[in-house]
Amino acid sequence: MRPCPQCGKLNQPAAKFCERCGLDFSAVPWVLIVEPKTSALAIASLVFGCLFFLFPAAVVAIVAGHISRSEIGKSAGRLKGGGIALAGLILGYAGVALIPFILIIAAIAIPNLLRARIAANEASAVASVRAISMACATYNSIYKQYPPSLQALGPPSGGANDSAAAANLIDAQLAFGRKHGYVFSYGPVSGRYGSPANQFVLSADPVTQNTSGMRHFFVDESGVIRVENDAPASRDSPPLQ
């Protein structure tokens, strides 16, 4: 735009006379005024600064803030946004200052959360082992043998009636053999000369040792749950207290 040196009115660059006071521009020099633009880096610094709780975002906010303030200072008024860049810098440095505290909190909280998760998974595994053991006893009383698989204890599909192939004594997830970080391995033990199974063994082991669980569990037709800390449990393992 072309400012009038007499009244200050902004006119079009090609104007020969001032639209307000009528000054003849051919007799005076003129200056083209360009509206300053907000620095994109200043905006980026503020945006990433608002995410200061994320370490990489805080660093980006600091770098972008310093670069933008340098560009604004050298732009001779063509760029603006120094205040925005300053706000981004403050937030960025605040994020960097919080990093040690975040690391300390994480170092305390993560192990506690892991231990709580392991304890919850182990409690669920014991409950599941007990539920399967009771389901096997019920199955045996109905069908005069122990089930051939965990699936035989699960619900029937398609609305079919309960049967020896799907007795509907445990839920579908448990019948699949995996629940809450534990894998359940079941096996019937047949009597002599191929007679129906009159015994069974069931093991419950962590999917990932020391992460999804620590202890291993075992149960058979006696109903006594046995446990080992670092190895698969068996009939010879101590009973669960």
145: nearest Cα among 99, 200, 101, 193: 200
Evaluate if residue 90 carries a pLDDT over 80: yes
Mean pLDDT over residues 125-139, rounded?
96
pLDDT tens for each residue of 150-171: 999 999 988 789 999 999 999 9
In this predicted structure, the answer to whether residue 54 has a pLDDT above a threshold of 60 is yes
Question: What per-residue confidence (pLDDT) applies to 128?
Answer: 96
> pLDDT value at position 99?
81
Q: Which value, to the nearest 10 degrees, does the dihedral of the CA atoms of residues 138, 139, 143, 145 take?
A: -110
Residue 117's pLDDT is: 93
Q: Which two tokens stand for residue 126?
A: 């014991």
| Separation between Cα atoms, residue 109 and residue 116, nearest integer Å | 11
- Domain borders along the chain are 1-33, 124-228
For tokens 């009771």, what's the residue? Answer: 134
Give percent of the chain with pLDDT exceeding 90.
Answer: 54
pTM, two decimals, is: 0.60
Check pLDDT > 90 for residue 174. yes
CA distances from 55 to 91, 102, 134 (A): 12, 10, 52
Residue-level pLDDT at 32: 53
Q: How far is 147 from 199, CA to CA, in rounded Å? A: 10
Q: Do the beta carbons of residue 129 and residue 225 sit within 8 Å?
A: yes
What pLDDT does residue 234 have?
A: 94
Q: What is each CA distance from 17 to 9, 21, 135, in whole angstroms?
A: 11, 8, 99
Q: What is the mean pLDDT of residues 49-67?
A: 87
For 210, left (φ over 0), alpha (ψ -120 to 50), or beta?
A: left
Q: Give the pLDDT score at 156.
A: 93
pLDDT band at 136 (very low <50, low <70, confident <90, very high): very high
At 79 the three-state DSSP class reads strand
Listed range (5-14, 31-40, 115-124, 227-236) with the worst mean pLDDT: 31-40
What's the whole-number average pLDDT of the chain? Answer: 88
